[in-house]
Amino acid sequence: MIFKATRLTVAAALFGAFPLAVLAQDFTPENPECIAPANPGGGWDFTCRQVGKSLQDEGLLSKTVQVVNLAGGGGGVAFAEVVNKRNDDNDLIVAASTATATRLAQGAYPGNTMDQVRWLASVGADYGVIAVAKDSDIADLPALLEIIKNDPTKISVAGGSAVGGWDHLKVLIAANAYGIEDVRKIKYIAFDGGGEAVTQLLAGSVQAFTGDLSEAKGFVDSGDIKVLAVLSPERLEGEFADFPTAREQGVEAIGANWRGFYAPGGMSDAAYEAWVSKIGTLYASDKWKEIMKTNGLAPLDLQGAEFEEFVAASVQQIQDISREIGIIK
């Protein structure tokens, strides 16, 4: 991270009165592309597609953003692809989230670290949910956790992140808050994206789902799933106001999944600043505010160096949590 900060400082000094934000106006991606590091239907896919379409709708990009789903390793396949094969691609951005920070924090991307890429901007925060199928006999979060506490083999929980990833951690944090002593006995089954995890829930292969509100919303709207708890400090507003929090059910569990983007580490400064500027402008637009409201995203407005500092802090915090509950030593 020191290297990248120095590179920006030197560039600014060389160009004097012409800040990088001005230089960025001369850069326009020829073939804009967004990698969603999971299968269609999950949070990363949502982030790429919503932001890509909105950038074009708002006139910030003249060409359609191609969305490529590159699943595997809880985002590790995509991270390695960017670092090893597309390190200088100025047209490429990659969807990221707390799940990305989690895998980096736990050393789950072998040989890769957060300073190998450039962190662009956040586009909001997505609160975690724990849900069951609509016809489940489980009425609330304490009822689910009580079953797990008495016999962990009776409940399989599906999520869209790898074992030890953010979806997994959310249910562990809730279980820990409920008083389950050995959370490692909880049966968590990982899928490549939240959409696939919910599909398995509906098929009856698992009994519960842990994910994010944006992933679950479509299935809630269709009446296929029942949200037991939102992992937010207080109830959300609008159409989400009917969903109870874990906290109001006596389970002190909060889990917010930030959403944003990183870019190849070798991306030019002009391209980097252009992408930061475009995403920042989109975030401030009425269109994006409406998308956030519709999908239950909470505000999180960070760009450039400020976002990179935030991600670094997120990685450190997750390392501490992971050690506390025994995911890493």
Whether 119 is covered by a domain: the verdict is yes
What total number of domains does the chain contain? 2
Paired tokens of 163: 């074992």
My answer on whether 211 and 177 are in the same domain is yes
Whether 299 is covered by a domain: the verdict is yes
CB atoms within 10 A of CB 3: 9
Whether 156 is covered by a domain: the verdict is yes
- Residue 42 contacts by C-beta under 8 Å, 6 or more apart in sequence? 36, 160, 192, 193, 194, 195, 196, 211, 215
My answer on whether 147 and 238 are in the same domain is yes
My answer on whether 237 and 308 are in the same domain is no
Distance CA 162, CA 175 (A): 18
Predicted local distance difference test score (pLDDT) of residue 216: 87
My answer on whether 243 and 142 are in the same domain is yes
My answer on whether 11 and 119 are in the same domain is yes
Dihedrals φ, ψ of 34, to 5°? -125, 125
Q: What are the C-alpha distances in Å from 143 to residues 64, 93, 139?
A: 46, 41, 7
Residue 137's identity, in one-letter code, is D
Whether 72 is covered by a domain: the verdict is yes
14, with CB counted inside 10 A (0-12, 13-18, 19+), is exposed
What is the tens place of the pLDDT at every residue in 119-174? Answer: 999 999 999 999 999 999 999 999 999 999 999 999 999 999 888 889 999 999 99
What is the tens place of the pLDDT at every residue in 176-210? Answer: 999 998 888 999 999 988 889 999 999 999 999 99
For residue 75, give the DSSP letter. G
My answer on whether 104 and 118 are in the same domain is yes
Selected residue with higher pLDDT from 187 and 215: 187
Q: What is the mean pLDDT of residues 306-319?
A: 94
Whether 297 is covered by a domain: the verdict is yes
Whether 329 is covered by a domain: the verdict is no
Q: Using 50, 70 and 90 to split pLDDT, how confident is the model at 7?
A: very low
Whether 94 is covered by a domain: the verdict is yes
Predicted local distance difference test score (pLDDT) of residue 16: 38
pLDDT greater than 70 at residue 252: yes
Distance CA 316, CA 325 (A): 15
Among the ranges given (60-69, 74-83, 156-165), the one the predictor scored with the smallest mean pLDDT: 156-165
Dihedrals φ, ψ of 249, to 5°? -95, 10
pTM metric for this prediction: 0.80
For residue 91, give the DSSP letter. T
My answer on whether 133 and 213 are in the same domain is yes
198, 44 contact by CB (below 8 A): no
My answer on whether 227 and 270 are in the same domain is no
Predicted local distance difference test score (pLDDT) of residue 14: 32
CB atoms within 10 A of CB 101: 25
Among the candidates 232, 249, 266, a domain finishes at: 249
Among the candidates 249, 276, 292, a domain finishes at: 249
My answer on whether 83 and 185 are in the same domain is no
My answer on whether 68 and 148 are in the same domain is no
CATH code for the domain of 285 = 3.40.190.150
Mean pLDDT score across all residues of the chain: 90
Among the candidates 230, 249, 268, a domain finishes at: 249
Whether 78 is covered by a domain: the verdict is yes
My answer on whether 263 and 245 are in the same domain is no
Predicted local distance difference test score (pLDDT) of residue 162: 86
Q: Using 50, 70 and 90 to split pLDDT, how confident is the model at 243?
A: very high
**Strands, DSSP E only, in the chain?**
33-36, 66-69, 92-97, 117-133, 156-159, 187-190, 208-212, 225-230, 256-264, 297-298
Paired tokens of 214: 């944006």
Nearest to 183 by CA among 193, 169, 197: 169
Among the ranges given (49-53, 227-231, 318-322), the one the predictor scored with the smallest mean pLDDT: 318-322
Q: What is the mean pLDDT of residues 287-309?
A: 94
Predicted local distance difference test score (pLDDT) of residue 112: 95
Instruction: Tell me the percentage of the chain whose pLDDT exceeds 90.
Output: 78
CATH code for the domain of 142 = 3.40.190.10
Q: Using 50, 70 and 90 to split pLDDT, how confident is the model at 215?
A: confident
My answer on whether 242 and 263 are in the same domain is no
pLDDT greater than 80 at residue 63: yes
Q: Using 50, 70 and 90 to split pLDDT, how confident is the model at 25?
A: low
Per the structure, the complete domain to which residue 277 belongs is given by 2-126+257-324
Among the ranges given (16-20, 30-34, 275-279, 303-307), the one the predictor scored with the smallest mean pLDDT: 16-20
